[in-house]
């Protein structure tokens, strides 16, 4: 007889170090099985060839995952100069070659052009949807879809290493930035072409890779040790002001009703807690002090 594994209503955030060669969804599903979690989602896709920080949300934390999707991110990227590929990375076929004869100063000057707001055309080999299908589906069929350029922002772009036809950079950027496209554009600016060889995400929001755990490390742990790696759901909300409610206000807020707090100092999104400092959810503060519920949690004690 085959027994179905019972799924746990666990809530929390796991900082996962995604390995090379699998999709973000595959990494998510693996972690979900290890935790026997009933509900899970990740907070920003990494391509299979990319590694690094992939925060995974379980249970009630999934309600706040959008705040990490919108967060700035930092990557370490390695580019091969003098070649371009069909995909902009090492998985594609080489379509052009060029001799590379550049100085470090030339490379540093080229990088400076990309700091600040820039326009990027999303690559065909991406998960962006067109008429309900991902662009990579069309690309694999040899169909080119016209894409509009989007504005993204590069906050910093540092040259870490340069030798011959290879360079490594650290990029801090806004959401929606394609590092593959950035590499291609850098190669174009240098006059020799380029593609991305490797990519590692080191920071997202307020989290950094040094706090992350690998799937192999999780597999070697027992369930209690895995649970100890989870951060509480409100770790995703640290950028917002905190408001504590008395018993009566907390009761009505839990019921999904707006509450009124006179002389409210905050505007916009706030994080609300009850008298025991248990997370209630987030609300939107109106100018008159009324707080309307936006996301409510069912579990109020973090990780189960």
Q: Record the tokens describing residue 15, joined without a space.
A: 């900082």
d(CA 42, CA 62): 8
Q: Round the CA-based radius of gyration of the chain to a whole number and report it.
A: 23
- Nearest-CA neighbor of 173 among 156, 159, 151? 156
Q: Record the tokens describing residue 107, joined without a space.
A: 């490379």
Q: How far is it between the farthest Cα atoms of the chain?
A: 72
d(CA 304, CA 300): 10
- Nearest-CA neighbor of 196 among 111, 290, 77, 95? 77
Contact 150/70 with Cβ under 8 angstroms? no
Q: List the catalytic residues.
A: 47
154-181 residues labelled b (16+ CB within 10 A) or e (exposed): beebeeeebeebebbbbbbbbeebbbbb
Residue 18, beta-bridge partner list:
52
Cα angle 16-18-24, degrees, rounded to a multiple of 5: 100
Task: Classify strands 166-173 and 73-81 as parallel, antiparallel or unpaired.
Answer: antiparallel
- Nearest-CA neighbor of 204 among 10, 12, 18? 18
3-state secondary structure of 250: helix
């Amino acid at each position: 007889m085959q027994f179905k594994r019972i799924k746990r209503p666990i809530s929390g955030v796991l900082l996962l170090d995604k390995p090379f060669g699998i999709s973000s969804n595959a990494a998510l599903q693996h972690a979900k099985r290890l935790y026997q979690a009933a509900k899970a989602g990740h907070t920003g896709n990494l391509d299979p060839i990319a590694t690094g920080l992939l925060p995974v949300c379980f249970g009630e934390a999934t309600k706040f995952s959008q705040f990490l999707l919108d967060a700035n991110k930092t990557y370490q990227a390695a580019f091969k100069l003098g070649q371009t590929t069909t995909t902009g990375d090492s998985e594609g076929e080489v379509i052009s070659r060029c001799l590379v004869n550049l100085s470090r100063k030339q490379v540093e000057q080229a990088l400076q052009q990309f700091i600040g707001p820039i326009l990027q055309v999303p690559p065909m080999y991406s998960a962006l949807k067109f008429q309900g299908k991902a662009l990579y589906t069309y690309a694999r069929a040899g169909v080119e879809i016209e894409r509009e350029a989007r504005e993204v922002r590069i906050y910093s772009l540092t040259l870490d290493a340069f030798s011959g036809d290879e360079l490594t950079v650290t990029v801090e950027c806004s959401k929606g930035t394609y590092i593959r496209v950035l590499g291609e554009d850098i190669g174009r600016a240098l006059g020799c072409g380029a593609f991305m060889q490797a990519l590692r995400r080191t920071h997202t929001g307020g989290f950094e890779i040094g706090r992350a755990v690998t799937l192999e490390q999780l597999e070697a742990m027992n369930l209690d040790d895995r649970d100890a790696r989870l951060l509480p759901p409100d770790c995703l909300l640290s950028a917002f002001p905190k408001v504590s409610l008395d018993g009566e206000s907390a009761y009505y807020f839990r019921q999904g009703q707006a509450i009124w707090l006179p002389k409210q100092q905050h505007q916009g999104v706030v994080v609300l807690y009850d008298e025991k400092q248990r997370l209630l959810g987030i609300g939107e503060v109106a100018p008159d002090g009324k707080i309307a519920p936006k996301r409510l949690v069912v579990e109020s004690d973090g990780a189960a």
